[in-house]
Structure 1
Amino acid sequence: MIVAFMMDPLESIEPENETTSWLMYECNQRGHTVFFLEPHDIYVRGSRLVARMRNVSVAPDQPMRAYWDDAIACLKRDELIFEEITDIDALFLRKDPPLNYQTLEYLHHVRGEVFTINSTTGQMLASSKLYLLNFPDIIPETHVSRDPKRLRKIIDEFGGSMVVKPLNRSRGEGVIKVSSHDRDNLNSLIHYYVNSYKPYPEREAIMVQEYLAEVKKHGDVRIMLLNGEILGAMRRIPAKGDFRTNIHAGASPAKHEISATDRRICDTIRPRLMADGLYFVGLDIIGDKLVEINVVSPGGIPRINRLDGIKIEAQVIDFVEEQVRRLKDHA
C-alpha cells in the first residue's frame, strides 16, 4: 500500500510526542511505502492531479528518534517523485491550520479514488470552531460576532467570565479569558481581536463562550475517535496560572476513564461526523460540555498510549487498510 502524508515540514515535528509521526512509523513498520508532501506540492498536469513527493520509507524496527532522523535524511536526496494522486492508496491530511483551500479543492476531485482521512469536504466544513454550532445542546453558551459593541454587550449581560476564541487558530493560540469586571482592558481586547480598524466586512469574527470554571481544577478531556468510536482518552491539566488545556500551552496529560457523559457526547455527534467523512477526530470536553472538535490534525496518540499502555496508531492503520481494500473492491 502507498500511504502519503500531507503535513508540516518533518524538521518541525517532535516525533516522540506527535500523532503524525507515530502513524507514519506504523505504516513503515508494516512495509507500506510512505510518501511525504506539503500542500503546495499538488498541481495539475494535462488535466490530471499530480503531486511532487518524497519517499520517506526507511528500515523498520528502529527507535522513533532514529526512524525520524532517517526519514528526514530522505529529504536531502534529489529524488522528488512525481505521481498522479490516484496512484496513491491512502492520503492523510495532517497539515496544521490554517487550511490551504485550493489544495483541498484539487483533492476533492479524486475523493472516490483515494481514501482520504479526513475528507476534504469534512475538513472545509469543520476546521473552524463554528462547526460546534451543529450541536447546540451539548456546548457552552456561545456567541459569534465581529461587532465590538455587540460583543461587549454579550459579556456585560452574561455577568461572569467568558472565553474569547479566534475561529481558525489551533493549539490554544489566541484563547483568552475575559470578564466585564476588567473594564480597563476589555474594550481594547475586543477591538484588537476583531481588527476593528478595518471596514466591517473585513473584520474577523470571534467566538465568545461561557467560561467553565471546573477547567482550572480538573482540566479537560481529549477523546480520540476513529470512525465514530472511542479509541482512547486523556485528561489535560492546565499549567499553574493558566486555564488553557492545550499540551503545547504547557498543560500536563493525565489518565482518564471514559465516563457515561463522554459516551453520550460522542453518540450525539457521531452521525454528523460520519456524514461529513470525519473519520479521525479529537474531541475536547469540559465537564458535560463539548468545547472543541479537532479534525485537521488531531493529536494525542503518543501520550494516551503511554498513559494506558495501548497502541492507538495500529487501530488507525488497520482501519485505513480496510477502507483501501473496500475502495479497490468497488473500483
Structure 2
Amino acid sequence: MNKKKRLKIGIVMDPIQFVKIEKDSSFAILLEVQKRNHQIYYMEMNDLYLKRGRAYAKTRLLKIRREIHNHFNFIQEQNILLNELDVILMRKDPPFNMEFIYATYILESAEKEGVLIINKPKSLRDCNEKIFASLFNHFIPDTLVTRNISQIYNFWKKNKDIIIKPLDNMGGSSIFRIKNNDLNFLVIAETMTNYEKKYCMVQTYLPSVKYGDKRILIVNGTAIPWCVARIPKKGETRANIAAGGIAKIKKLNKKDWEIANYLSPILKEKGLILVGLDVIGNKLTEINITSPTCLCEIESNKNISISSILIDYIENQRY
C-alpha cells in the first residue's frame, strides 16, 4: 500500500491560547489532524489578506498537546499563498458580522484555486444560523424575524411566552425570555432591535427545553447517533453549556432522525460538512455552521470519534 501523503491543513480560529482544551471542538479536531501526521497551519482573522486578487495569510506551524496551560507551541511563521494548503477549516466563532463575511471572500478566492474549505465560504454567507433554520417551517416553532417592535409585541401577545435572540451571536449570548405580562417587554425589544435598527429572531418558548436543548452533529451528510442534551441550570432559561447548561449524552430519537435525515442531503449539497442542529423537544431551532461544538462531550462519553470521521472525509477528498 502506498504511504499517504502528509496534508497541509489550515485552520482559522480564535486565539488558541484561550481555548479550554478539555471541551474545545477545534482543539479535538486538531489533535486528530496531528495524530495522523498532517501539518497544521494556524491562522486568525487578522492573518488573512488579498493581494493582487489572490488569497494569502500569515501562518504558523502548530504543535499541540493535552496539557492545560501548555497546550501549544508555534514552530515556524511564514506568509503563504493559501493555495499552498490542501484544506482550510474555518472555525472562527461568531459574532457573524461583516468582518466574518469579508474573511469568507478571501477564503473563497483560495477555494477557486483548489483549496477545500470547510465549511464552504458561500454557504457560510448564505445560511445564517438562525434564519436558515426558519426555511424549514414544518420543523421549527412559531418564528418571527423582524426589527419592528409592533410586530414583536403582537407576536408576544399571541404566544404569551417568547424567546428573543440576536441573529449573529452564539453560546446563549443576549437571549431573553419574555413571559406574559412582563413589564420589561419594551426595554428588551428596544435593546434587541437597537430601536428598530437591527433584526432579531423571536420564537415561542418551548417548555420542553427543561429536558435539554439537543445538539445533533452531522458530518458530510451523516448524523452522529448520539447528541448532547444541554439542560438549563435551575432558574436559567438558556441551556447553552457556555451559559451554565449541564450536558447529558442521549441517543437520537425518532423525531431527531427525521429532522437530521431531511436536512442532511441539503447541507451536504451546500458544502456544509460539519454542522450542529439545535433541537428542543421536536422542534428545530438553529442550524449551526460556523464553528459547531459538542464533539468533546460525545467523544469522551461514547466510543465514537467525530473528529476522525471528519478527517476521514478530508483525506478521501484530497487523496
Q: Under a length normalisation based on structure 1, what TM-score does the superposition of the two structures give?
A: 0.89
Aligned AA for 2:12? M
The structural deviation recorded for 1:192 is: 1.4
The structural deviation recorded for 1:47 is: 3.4
The match for 1:245 among 239, 252, 270 is: 239
The match for 2:93 among 82, 92, 96 is: 96
Aligned AA for 1:223? I
Alignment partner of 1:54 is 2:60: yes
Output the CA distance in 2 between the equivalents of 1:270 and 1:101: 24
How many residues matched? 308
Alignment partner of 1:192 is 2:201: no
Alignment partner of 1:107 is 2:107: yes
Output the CA distance in 2 between the equivalents of 1:84 and 1:266: 37
1:45–1:16 Cα change, 3 Å: same
Which position in structure 2 is the counterpart of 1:81?
78
Larger proportion of helix: 1
Spell out, residue by residue over 1:122-150, the C-alpha distance to the aligned partner (whole angstroms, 9 max, x if none): 11122341111220110000011111122
User: What value does the CA root-mean-square deviation take over the aligned residues?
Assistant: 1.6
Output the CA distance in 2 between the equivalents of 1:193 and 1:296: 22
Aligned AA for 2:175? V
Q: Are the equivalent residues in 2 in contact too, given 1:254–1:307 (CA < 8 A)?
A: no
Which position in structure 1 is the counterpart of 2:27?
21
Output the CA distance in 2 between the equivalents of 1:293 and 1:12: 25
Output the CA distance in 2 between the equivalents of 1:259 and 1:14: 30
Output the CA distance in 2 between the equivalents of 1:149 and 1:53: 49
Q: Secondary structure at the match of 2:238?
A: coil
Alignment partner of 1:257 is 2:263: no
Which position in structure 1 is the counterpart of 2:44?
38
The structural deviation recorded for 1:25 is: 0.8
Q: Which moved more, 1:161-170 or 1:143-152?
A: 143-152
Spell out, residue by residue over 1:264-309, the C-alpha distance to the aligned partner (whole angstroms, 9 max, x if none): 0012212321222111001111111101111000001111112213
Larger proportion of strand: 2
Aligned AA for 2:194? N
Spell out, residue by residue over 1:250-270, the C-alpha distance to the aligned partner (whole angstroms, 9 max, x if none): 011112011111110012212
Q: Secondary structure at the match of 2:300?
A: helix
1:274–1:310 Cα change, 3 Å: closer
Q: Secondary structure at the match of 1:11?
A: helix
Q: Which runs of 4+ in 1 moved over 6 A?
A: none
The structural deviation recorded for 1:70 is: 5.0
Alignment partner of 1:178 is 2:178: yes
Alignment partner of 1:211 is 2:205: yes
Aligned AA for 1:9? P
Q: Secondary structure at the match of 1:299?
A: coil
Output the CA distance in 2 between the equivalents of 1:308 and 1:301: 11
Alignment partner of 1:164 is 2:164: yes
Q: Secondary structure at the match of 2:22?
A: helix
Output the CA distance in 1 between the equivalents of 2:31 and 2:290: 19
Q: Are the equivalent residues in 2 in contact too, given 1:16–1:65 (CA < 8 A)?
A: no
Q: Secondary structure at the match of 1:95?
A: coil
Aligned AA for 1:47? G
Which position in structure 2 is the counterpart of 1:155?
156
Q: Are the equivalent residues in 1 in contact too, given 2:129–2:289 (CA < 8 A)?
A: no
Aligned AA for 1:302? C
Output the CA distance in 1 between the equivalents of 2:51 and 2:168: 32
Aligned AA for 2:230? R
Which position in structure 2 is the counterpart of 1:328?
none
Please give the residue correspondences for 1:272-311 in structure 2 after superposition, counting only pairs within 5 Å: 272-311=266-305
Output the CA distance in 1 between the equivalents of 2:154 and 2:207: 21
Q: Are the equivalent residues in 2 in contact too, given 1:40–1:103 (CA < 8 A)?
A: no
Alignment partner of 1:221 is 2:211: no
Which position in structure 1 is the counterpart of 2:120?
119
Aligned AA for 1:192? T
Output the CA distance in 1 between the equivalents of 2:54 and 2:281: 48
Q: Under a length normalisation based on structure 2, what TM-score does the superposition of the two structures give?
A: 0.92
The structural deviation recorded for 1:310 is: 2.3
Q: Secondary structure at the match of 1:307?
A: coil
- What 5-or-longer segments of structure 2 have no aligned partner? 1-6
Aligned AA for 1:82? N
Q: Which moved more, 1:171-180 or 1:270-279?
A: 270-279
